[in-house]
Amino acid sequence: MARAVSTRRKAIVTVIAWGIGLAIFFPILWTILTSFKTEADAIASPPKFLFFDWTFENYVTVQERSDYFRHFWNSVVMSVGSTVLALIIAIPAAWSMAFIPGRWTKDVLMWMLSTKMMPAVGVLVPMYLMFRDLGLLDTVSGLVIILTLINLPIVVWMLYTYFKEIPGEILEAARMDGANLRSEIIYVLTPMAVPGIASTMLLNIILAWNEAFWTLNLTAAKAAPLTAFIASYSSPEGLFYAKLSAASTMAIAPILIMGWFSQKQLVRGLTFGAVK
């Protein structure tokens, strides 16, 4: 009897979980389906779910009109570049905060997080002027710098949380064995925190890939990433939903595939501590 109740409960939980999962995934699914519709089918009322004239026309149009691979490459460089740079800065910062906390460590952490609370548009003009004067407008290196800066608080916070769970005694033992600071971080701390660093890295790549405010405002023709590629398919006058969906599908596909293959690592890093 107890077993039957348990099985039923499991079934209910499974159905609910699937329902939630599908609800979360539905906008992406709908975007993918719309990308295979004609513009007329894309706006049909009632909406057409699966039974419509499937077409690749939108993908052909998008390929003809835009240089997808240039945008894709810019997205890859800015996401990976900003993530690597952020980790190089954040690992020592998180180490010092986790293992030798000072009187103001908590305040510094809160202050870092508070920079994320300001609307980006509030600093658009000063940032734009700085980028103009430094010759960084419409450059991928400029995007790497800005994305590093805006994601750094989250990276430091995440790493700090993981590092806090590593017993300080292990690092002390390493020190007693003669490890200097550099060796301690590279050969002891980093390998132990690999799941945490990996999930931080993956999350940062996703955040950088999807960032749309700075990447749109600080680029023009040369450094424009996939966010600009998507934005070019929205039209004030004229139907564009199917073409926009094709552009969106092409833009999210790489990060979706990366997320799919790395989900085990991502989930593990996000749900478990460093040494559990």
Partner 1 sequence: MTKTVRALMGACAIGAFSTAAFAETTITVATVNNGDMIRMQGLMDDFNTKNPDIKVEWVTLEENTLRQKVTTDIATKGGQFDVLTIGTYEVPIWGKQGWLVSLNDLPASYDVDDLLPAIRGGLTVDGELYASPFYGESSMVMYRKDLMEKAGLTMPDAPTWDDIKAAAAAMTDKAGEIYGICLRGKAGWGENMAFLTAMSNSYGAKWFDMDWKPQFDSEAWKATLTDYLDLMNNYGPPGASNNGFNENLALFQTGKCGMWIDATVAASFVTGKDSTVADKVGFALAPDKGLGKRGNWLWAWSLGIPAGSQKVDAAKKFVEWATSKEYLALVASKEGWANVPPGTRASLYANPEYQKVPFAKMTLDSINSADPQHPTVDPVPYVGVQFVAIPEFQGIGTAVGQQFSAALAGTTSLEDALKNAQDLTTREMTKAGYIK
The residues binding partner 1 (CB under 8 A) are 38-40, 43-45, 65, 124-125, 128-129, 132, 137-138, 216-217, 220-222, 224, 228, 231-240
Taking the C-alpha atoms of residue 245 and residue 31, their distance in angstroms, rounded to an integer, is 5
Nearest residue (CB) to partner 1, 215 versus 249: 215
Q: Coil, helix or strand for 49?
A: coil
Smallest gap from Cβ 218 to partner 1, in A, equals 9
CA distance 147 to 159: 18
Minimum distance from residue 74 beta carbon to partner 1 (Å): 13
Coil/strand/helix, residue 54: coil
Nearer to partner 1, 124 or 170 (CB): 124
User: 105 vs 210, which CB is nearer to partner 1?
Assistant: 210
Q: Which is nearer to partner 1, 70 or 175 (CB)?
A: 70
Would you state the structure tokens that stand for residue 222, as one six-digit string? 């040369």
Nearest distance in Å: CB 80, partner 1: 24
Tokens of 67: 């240089």
CB 243 within 8 A of CB 260: no
State the nearest-atom distance from the C-beta of 134 to partner 1, in Å.
12
Which residues are CB-contacts of 86 (< 8 A; sequence separation ≥ 6)? 148, 151, 152, 155, 204
